[in-house]
Every structure is written in C-alpha cells, then in structure tokens.
Structure 1
C-alpha cells in the first residue's frame, strides 16, 4: 500500500492506495485559521498534530504495511522554523494580506514587473517575498531566531524524518525567488526585495527523500518523499503532464494550471511558472485567491446548506435572472490571472424578486468565469481535468462545463495525495501504472446552446471586472 499526506489550508488528510491507484481509505482532520485585520495565521503545532492524528487513524485501519509515502501541502506563506523544524512564531498563511502596501509599492516602482521577468513569479501579499520583507521591518527578532523560512510541508517533512536541516523542493521554491531556467535562487531578486541580509533563511532546494522515524506518524523506516506542493501534486494526480493539457482545482483556492515546455516571461505579469521534477517542464499556474471559499461565504450568509446547492442551481436559469457576482472575496485581493491587492467582490443586479437560488447560481457562474479567465491566461489548448471539493456537486460540474465551453475530465478522491505518491514513486524508482492511477471518474460535456450563451456572458464579466479593477486602483 501507498500513503499520500496532504496538509491543506483548512483540512489535513492522509489517504491509502493500492498498486493500481484505487483509493482504499482516507483520514481527515480540520485545522484552524486565525483571521484578524487582514492577518491570516496558522498554529504550526496544531497542523503537525493533525498530521500525526490522521496518520495514526489511517494506520490503525490498514490491513498491511506501507511501502511508500508522499507528502504534499499548501504552498506560499512563511513558516519560520528553528533547526529542528519547530515553530519560531505562527505561520503566516498564503491568504495573509498584511504586506499589500509593499506589493502596491513594488507595482508602482517597477520591482514587481522586474521580478516577474526574471523568475516568472507575480508576487502577491501572501507569498514569501512580501511577507519576509514585512516581517523584516516589523518583527526582525522573529527572523533573527529562525533557522529557515520554509513552506508548510517542509516543516512536516523535517519533523517526520528527524532531518537536521530544513530543505524545500523545486516547486515550493518557485515563488518568488527561483530562476526557472537555472533552478537556483536568483540573488538579484533577493536584493531587489531588500532581503540580501536574510538570504540565509531561504531553505536549500533539493530532491528530498528520507525514512520516517519510529516515534512519529509512520512506521520506522518508511520511505517518504517531500513534495511537490499541492498545485503540482494535483496535476500529477490528475494525469496533467503533456504540454497544453490543463487542470482546474475547484477548492478553497481556484487554480488553473497548464503543462508546458515553453517559458514565456512576456505579457501581463501574473501567476507563476512552477518548476517540476523534470527540468525543462513547468506548470503555468494561475492560482486565484478564492474558489469554494466564495461559495461557502454566500451559503453561510444565506443560510443554505451545501447539500442544497444542486437543487437550487436547477431552480434558476443561466444568467440567474440578472444577478451577477464578481467573486473576489479574499482580504488580500486577487493574484491571478492579474494582481490587484485591493480588489473586492461585487454583487449586482439584486432586487426584492431575487431568490437564494439566484445568488447561488450567480456565485457559481462568477467562479466559473474566473476559472475561464485563468485557464485562458495559462494557455490551455488540450484536455482539461477538474478536481477539488467542487467536484462533489454534479450540477456545478455541468454548469462549469457550460461556462468553460469544453469537456471536463472529473477526477475525484484525494488527488493531491495521489500525486504525492506518484512523485514519491518517481523519486524512489518505483514503477506504477500512472494511466490507471490518473483515470478520470467521469467526463462532463457542455451543452452547446448554454456554452454559446456563456461565451457572451464571459465577455461581459471581463468588462465588469475591468471597471472594478479601475475602482480598486482609485481607492
């Protein structure tokens, strides 16, 4: 059996698979987020305890030994650790918005664009560059006390294996300091962000594999691999490796990714190029800030339960009787396929005649338009796979196929954990049938008439978005 560990933003999961990729069992535990005034942080000890808990629960139910384990998790943010991988302070989440003024300044003075042209990374407030610069100005003692500024899964990997030094993998290192051509940190970018004196905090980039210690969540001697982080891991788990093919992750974060062998650092600076384990192969990623989190907010506000969504989507027609939603709910604005730290969500066309069904459909349509925008910017030309929590709603998948105007290869289950196992197998030289591991659960085809309607609505969405971005800049 094979185990994949996925340390998500709001949920930590461990899943077991057999040789053919069939998911046998999964254990999950929620973890909290502390939100206050644009600051979003996580308790590292809570996160690590959740990892041990799900591994213990899963192991207690497995009928046999674990041959191999792979680790993935949320990317970005800043996880300051000491030499043993223990926290120096709370982790600053990728959702954190405290550094938005730095990003605004770098947008204005050209630093933002220069960094993108060198690394293919469009910075946003919750990525390590702005957060480290903010901490250097406001909490220098925390940086003084840290051995390294790592990412979520790096902290977990070090503690599971007892390694003496923090490391990271090439995918997590992609934002924002890594030169995608050399696969090494760009010291000029470090200098531009005013962090040369903190250069030693950047964890060495390696191909980390190690065995687990007896005292922690996996059996002693279990082969464990660290990375890639959740976006590229989902791409592996969904079988998205051929240039032009894409993946849409409908989760807390709405992410569009397209596999590519071409590095184009021209055009509007947005998203990032994620380096993969294969040199010369990248994922052009457009990870928007809010996906299912936008729908969750609307459901909570209207008092609608998740299990009611499919029925409500059937109660109102495409266009939601004129109700429109720009789904930019994140406190740090948007980061893909454009960067606008001050952008906020907008709800228009509402009247006393509007229903909850109208609000729900308009939100799902708005998220769909944002997804189409991301995938277009990422260069999608081939097939499209879809994964994430949103796939549990058949009606939403049909709506997405219509909005995107293309068939969806729906891949259900723990796709990130599945990709983590496939990455671990490749690193250890274990041969697995990747075709059977990544076979889609279903294919959802668009309705031609609705697809034509939504193609026109998408252009209207772009016009309303342009106006909203202009208002955000003025404010």
Structure 2
C-alpha cells in the first residue's frame, strides 16, 4: 500500500427515517459520511416501507460517504437494519410484499398463535409479521431488511444473520430454527439459512459498484440489528459492560459470557460474533416525553432551570406510549405522576429524573436476574447530548458513565466489517480502537443519597399498581444504599 493510501471500512445503517453510511479507519477516523432520507406509511398500528427505497437511499448515501475517498482501500462493509423489520421475497430475491417495520402492530393474532405453540415472541417481532405476510401475500422467503440490500450488492440472496433472525424465532443457543415453524404455516422454502454476524457473505458485484460507488470486489460481511450495531459503536462488549441508549425510548444492551435467563421474556439475548452473549431490553420510557410535553422548548435552557429541582416536587414514570416492556412487562401500564410539579421547570426536572429512575430500575432488574454489571457503563443516544442529564443520570445510578464522541450504528457496522475481514483482533479490541470517549461523568454521592427516597416511592407505586413484581421491588429496595454496578 502506498504511503498516501489508507484502509477503511464502510458501515451502513438502514434506519427508520434515513440510510446512513460511514467510512471509518481502524483508529476511528471518519473519512466520509453520507445519508439519504426514507419515507414510510403509518396508519394506526400499520407501519410499512417500500423496500426499493432502501437501495435508492443506499446508493446516494454510499456515494456521498466515498466521494472524497480517493486513495483509500475499502476493506469491507457491513449493514444493520431495524430489528423485527421483515418482508417476503420470491425465488429471484424480488420483494413480494411491503416491508413491515419494527413496530408494525397488525400481527396480534399471529403472535398469540406462536406463543400458544411455545415460542416466546412479542406481537411486533418478525415471526408474527412473517406469518401475517404469508397469509396476506402468499408463500415467499422471509427476508430481513439488510438481506435485501446485501442481495442487491452481491447478486445473491444471502443467509440471514443470527442477530436479525432472533426475532424471527431463531434459537441462538441451539443454532437452529424451531421445529414447529412449518406447523405454523411457514414451509421450509420460507426459512433462510442463518450465519453468525461477522461472516463473509460475498463481494460487491460490478453493477452494484456502478450504482453505489463501492468498489467491485469489496467483501460484504454479515451485520447485526441496529441496537447491536449501536452497542458495538459504544465498545460495550466486554463482560459486565453496558450501553444505555437514551433516544425516544430507553434501551440497555450489555455483554455477558452466558445468556441472562429471564422467565418473563423481558430481557432477551443476542449472540456476539465470538459466541458470547449480548443481553438487553427496550423500555417505553424515554426522551420522547420531553418532545410531547414541551414542543419547541430549548432543552439547554430547560436543563438550566431544572437544576433547581433536585429532587422534583413530582415523581414520574414517563412512558412515551402506553404499555411497558422493560424493566417489567405490563401492557396496561400508563404514564404516571405522583405529586404536583410547581412549574414547567419542575415538570421538566421530574421527567428527566423519571427516566433516570426507570434506568436505575432496569439495572436493578438485571442484577436481580444475575446479569454481570461490574464493567463500564456508556451513555449514548440523543439524550446523551445533554451534559446536565448525563450528570443527573450518573447521580441517580450512583456510578460513573462514559460518553463516546461517535456512537451511531453505522460506526458499529464499520467495526464489524473490520473484524469480519480477517482482523487479528477480537471484536471488542477492534471496536475499542475505533471508539474514543469524549468524557466520563462521575456521580456525586450526596446527590445519589438525595434521590433514594423518591426512587423508593416510585418503586412502591409501580408494585402497588401490579406492574412491578414484588420480588423485583424488594430487590430494588435492598440496593438503595449502594450503586448499580453489581456489588
């Protein structure tokens, strides 16, 4: 390689509102980026996208990302998609149906039928939606969002990666599909082969290179879901490490040498490329409540005012939408407010604190299940752009947190591509080399103690309403005097 040449990897994120591409070197330098918007159709519980949009947007995003990459060798690429998004394709890999997005809610009957057959799936997972699509459009091949894009890059419909296959019912511990899928109405021809993330799927063909600007022959590596991609981008991959993603809703993703067993199904486990486990859960609490309650507000200005209310005069459990999925399963749960905030600033403070209380309860629940929590905690997502909220969360959790500079899923896919193309380092080491920490936020013990009483009141209220199981509430109380690091 000439002195003026570099090697970099391309990460592609097929999001809900856009496709994002990043070209990243092994030390985390972003050489180029690009994005292109995606549309969709929402109507009540219906949420669809036209699969052809993904390719058009990828072509635009990748060309932008590679526009200034002269002299750079693209070592490989990987693609992530939204977890649970699925469509049907025919024998030639052409779409037979629209794509049902991750939160499409039409497959309730199919979800109930799958659970009756003994499968622990939720209604919005890909398996119920695949059953619904088959009944509506006829028999076709179950195809996840990245599968279609990869087929257009390589010219061949690939096996699914096990990360996207998880919500289609794939058993990650047995490395096998459940035997009852044909009895549910999915013939063998509908069910894809599965490979582990990081597996070589093929190479970019010439026609795809012309359309995307990605050099022909570039290796294409099996990706993971967007949540796992964001976890890789946070470098939270060593046992006991956790990434708390605070966006519209709150998602916690961790690393463990063994699966975290949860009889309620609230916590589920992805499989890492090295065979270790990535447990996690997704809450319906999150920063979306701020947008709903304070449309058009300046978050920085409201944060400055909220600092006068620690703790707030009101205690909230700020659900973005009805029903809770993590740290407890309660389809009938609704947002709650205990007490009366005295001002908009106090209400804002109560919402920030309520999200942090939910975050603490998530960690308490994970500890209750025996998950390792003694590694570093990382804050990512849109909420992590608020220094005040980061400090508040660290105070309420009673533990330090790292905030990386760059955390988007496309970065995680670039790291996975680097790992999958024959890197000598493991995925954790590869990601750590690409991820730089912007700051570390340390908790203030006097603040942690100040928030113990309102947190305990919230736990008692959730248990009193029948949403939070009493043993989990008792476990949270027993940990009030410590931090959430798993001691």
Q: Is the shorter-chain TM-score for this pair beyond 0.5, marking a shared fold?
A: yes
Counterpart in 1 of 2:104? 96
CA distance in 1, matches of 2:239, 2:304: 37
* TM-score between both structures, scaled by the size of structure 1: 0.84
Q: Against the structure 1 CA distance between its residues 232 and 347, is the aligned structure 2 distance closer, same or farther, given a 3 Å change threshold?
A: same
- Within 5 A, what are the aligned runs for 1:366-445? 366-378=354-366, 379=371, 380-431=373-424, 434=430, 435-445=432-442
CA distance in 2, matches of 1:25, 1:45: 24
Counterpart in 2 of 1:120? none
CA distance in 2, matches of 1:423, 1:399: 32
Counterpart in 2 of 1:115? 119
Higher Cα Rg, which structure: 2
| Aligned with 1:298 (options 293, 297, 309) | 293
CA distance in 2, matches of 1:264, 1:436: 27
Structure 1 contact 269–338 (Cα < 8 Å) conserved? no
| Aligned with 1:282 (options 269, 277, 282) | 277
| Aligned with 1:132 (options 108, 130, 133) | 130
How far does the alpha carbon of each residue in 1:249-287 deviate from its partner, in whole angstroms, 9 at most, with x for none? 1234421122112235354331211112122x1111112
Aligned residue pairs, count: 444
CA distance in 2, matches of 1:57, 1:202: 35
- Within 5 A, what are the aligned runs for 1:440-455? 440-455=437-452
Q: Against the structure 1 CA distance between its residues 130 and 240, is the aligned structure 2 distance closer, same or farther, given a 3 Å change threshold?
A: same
Structure 2 contact 264–329 (Cα < 8 Å) conserved? no
CA distance in 2, matches of 1:33, 1:296: 21
Structure 1 contact 69–223 (Cα < 8 Å) conserved? yes
- Is 1:232 aligned to 2:228, yes or no? yes
SS in structure 1 at match of 2:12 = strand
Q: Against the structure 1 CA distance between its residues 40 and 209, is the aligned structure 2 distance closer, same or farther, given a 3 Å change threshold?
A: same
Structure 2 spans left out of the alignment, 5+ residues: 1-7, 469-487
Shift of 1:425: 1.9
Structure 1 contact 372–404 (Cα < 8 Å) conserved? yes
CA distance in 1, matches of 2:223, 2:83: 10
Structure 1 contact 95–289 (Cα < 8 Å) conserved? no
Q: Against the structure 1 CA distance between its residues 216 and 134, is the aligned structure 2 distance closer, same or farther, given a 3 Å change threshold?
A: same
SS in structure 1 at match of 2:261 = coil
CA distance in 2, matches of 1:296, 1:158: 38
- Is 1:36 aligned to 2:43, yes or no? yes
Structure 1 contact 150–167 (Cα < 8 Å) conserved? no
Structure 1 spans left out of the alignment, 5+ residues: 117-122
Counterpart in 1 of 2:186? 197
How far does the alpha carbon of each residue in 1:132-152 deviate from its partner, in whole angstroms, 9 at most, with x for none? 34445xxx24142x3x22222
CA distance in 1, matches of 2:302, 2:71: 39
CA distance in 2, matches of 1:312, 1:154: 47
Counterpart in 2 of 1:119? none
CA distance in 1, matches of 2:335, 2:99: 26
Q: Against the structure 1 CA distance between its residues 318 and 158, is the aligned structure 2 distance closer, same or farther, given a 3 Å change threshold?
A: farther
* TM-score between both structures, scaled by the size of structure 2: 0.82
Shift of 1:309: 4.8
How far does the alpha carbon of each residue in 1:199-221 deviate from its partner, in whole angstroms, 9 at most, with x for none? 53232102343222323322222
Structure 1 contact 70–420 (Cα < 8 Å) conserved? yes
Structure 1 contact 48–156 (Cα < 8 Å) conserved? yes
Q: Against the structure 1 CA distance between its residues 51 and 310, is the aligned structure 2 distance closer, same or farther, given a 3 Å change threshold?
A: farther
Counterpart in 2 of 1:335? 325
How far does the alpha carbon of each residue in 1:380-423 deviate from its partner, in whole angstroms, 9 at most, with x for none? 23221222222222112112212222111112314422221222
Deviates more, 1:219-228 or 1:21-30: 21-30
Shift of 1:452: 2.0
Structure 1 contact 236–422 (Cα < 8 Å) conserved? yes
How far does the alpha carbon of each residue in 1:169-226 deviate from its partner, in whole angstroms, 9 at most, with x for none? 11111225122222221224x36xx624345323210234322232332222222213
CA distance in 2, matches of 1:227, 1:183: 17
- Is 1:169 aligned to 2:161, yes or no? yes
Structure 2 contact 285–317 (Cα < 8 Å) conserved? no
| Aligned with 2:203 (options 203, 206, 211) | 211
Shift of 1:429: 0.5
Deviates more, 1:98-107 or 1:378-387: 98-107
Counterpart in 2 of 1:359? 347
CA distance in 2, matches of 1:48, 1:467: 50
How far does the alpha carbon of each residue in 1:283-303 deviate from its partner, in whole angstroms, 9 at most, with x for none? 111122453333333343xx3
Structure 2 contact 19–37 (Cα < 8 Å) conserved? yes
